[in-house]
Structure 1
């Protein structure tokens, strides 16, 4: 099995939730991040968390915490670079990213992304009928220098950068609901509680 590092992206500012860490909000009696870890950990060889600020606030999860390698919160593309740099240090040949505010991510995410990545050093992004979900992607470590250069030049859009590098797509069903449903507002959190109850978990 090819070594794939899982990277959970939690570096955002959560402005629509009033600031703070969305990943630590309670969902079904547990932090939202716990649901993401539970779904992603079995799919990867190792798992890290991309987050800025004091890493101690995530100590309960027992994951290495890696900060953005560029300043001023440039967005999830910086988290992808952080993951690629960590992978290069650990010998992983690629990473799979997932957003920390998406507690229903597919349990076959990595397998489907790997199947879509052709050739083997291609980027693959998750998609549904509604479009791309670019924070859910497979990224080869061989692209880290190009990403560092483009970030320094001002690139910020994850999907645009990936597609400029010939990204492939792995398409997922979005019924009975979109598995990439992410929690941005209090209303989203209430809906997630309903979805979680419907799953019986």
Structure 2
């Protein structure tokens, strides 16, 4: 399979960060979003950003900005749907979604998701973190999605479904499990304290 396209989900409300665009907060030599872009770019073909409102605030990133097609705040599934529609328009068969506030996700995320979907003959594969006590903990905003599911997802959202896992379970989603090494690679920035920790992790990375 050729590289899937990539969609970065940046449509959250960032209430614990005081609102606004979390992705534009400074981190390292750039921003939270630029760190995510740098990590995703080698793993995918084309990339786009899912965000609502004035797209010009992301102009310097050089990515197409794809808004939700569902009215109101329908959560991450609306962002996945936007990514599916955008990828289908590009002629892609699959799209990988990642969260805009998770700067340390695995550098082999796409390879592992693709392998999991292939092995299970599944149209969806979700990432999971291996918790030593509770086992695999799903990370449902990090997934590989077959674009042929977009109309099914559109109908499900229209019927009021909002939880990612409720929909993916209908389609027998596969799972790619990642071990913490040395910390949870899906650690995400929700609060100012999380941003401080992310800066420390970035500075201590080899």
Offset of residue 120 of structure 1: 4.9
Distance (Å, rounded) in 2 between the aligned partners of 1:4 and 1:44: 5
Distance (Å, rounded) in 2 between the aligned partners of 1:67 and 1:104: 25
Residue 168 (structure 1) aligns with: 174
- RMSD across aligned positions (CA): 1.1
Give matches, 1:91-170, under 5 Å: 91-118=91-118, 119-120=120-121, 122-130=123-131, 131-170=137-176
Show structure 2 runs of 5+ residues with no match. Answer: 132-136
Distance (Å, rounded) in 2 between the aligned partners of 1:139 and 1:112: 13
1:125-160 residue CA offsets vs partner (Å, 9 max, x unmatched):
000124000000000011011000000000101122
Residue 31 (structure 2) aligns with: 31
Offset of residue 188 of structure 1: 0.6
Q: Please tell me whether the aligned partners of residues 3 and 93 of structure 1 are also in contact (alpha carbons under 8 angstroms).
A: no
2:63 is equivalent to residue 59 of structure 1 = no
From 165, 179, 193, the equivalent of 2:185 is 179
Offset of residue 196 of structure 1: 0.5
Structure 2 counterpart SS, 1:86:
helix
Residue 22 (structure 2) aligns with: 22
Q: Please tell me whether the aligned partners of residues 121 and 142 of structure 1 are also in contact (alpha carbons under 8 angstroms).
A: no
2:71 is equivalent to residue 71 of structure 1 = yes
Residue 87 (structure 1) aligns with: 87
Distance (Å, rounded) in 2 between the aligned partners of 1:128 and 1:112: 13
Distance (Å, rounded) in 2 between the aligned partners of 1:193 and 1:164: 38
Question: TM-score, structure 2 length as denominator?
Answer: 0.94
Offset of residue 3 of structure 1: 4.5
Show structure 1 runs of 5+ residues with no match. Answer: none
Structure 2 counterpart SS, 1:96:
strand
1:6-64 residue CA offsets vs partner (Å, 9 max, x unmatched):
00000011000000000000111411100000000111111000000000000010000
Distance (Å, rounded) in 2 between the aligned partners of 1:160 and 1:33: 28
Structure 2 counterpart SS, 1:115:
helix
